[in-house]
């Protein structure tokens, strides 16, 4: 089975602390394998069979509003 990769636009992430907070929030999302953040581009790359809306909700609740970039 191939890994599902979903990309998101994420607002408000400025530093490593933000990445740590976001990773903590995403750890609660079922199906998550990993997440990578590009602070300069304001994007996140999430690997795993996740519900994109659950990812957006988790990030938004952590203070980083997110929307799906691609699926």
- Number of domains composing the chain: 1
In tens, the pLDDT along 21-71 reads 999 999 999 999 999 999 999 999 999 999 999 999 999 999 999 999 954
Residues paired with 9 in a beta bridge = 43, 67
Return the CATH number at 31.
Answer: 3.30.70.100
Two structure tokens written together for 50: 């996740």
Q: Which residue pairs from 24-30 have beta carbons closer than 8 angstroms and sit at least 24 positions apart in sequence?
A: 24/62, 25/58, 25/59, 25/61, 25/62, 26/55, 26/58, 26/59, 28/58, 29/54, 29/55, 29/58, 30/54
Whether pTM > 0.85 for this model: the answer is: yes
Containing domain of residue 39, as a range?
5-70
- DSSP character string of 19-43: HHHHHHHHTTSTTEEEEEEETTTTE
């Amino acid at each position: 089975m191939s890994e599902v990769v979903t990309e998101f636009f994420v607002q408000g992430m400025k530093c490593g602390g933000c990445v740590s907070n976001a990773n903590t929030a995403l750890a609660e999302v079922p199906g998550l394998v990993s997440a990578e953040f590009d602070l300069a581009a304001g994007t996140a790359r999430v690997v795993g069979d996740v519900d994109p809306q659950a990812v957006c909700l988790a990030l938004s609740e952590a203070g980083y509003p997110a929307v799906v970039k691609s699926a």
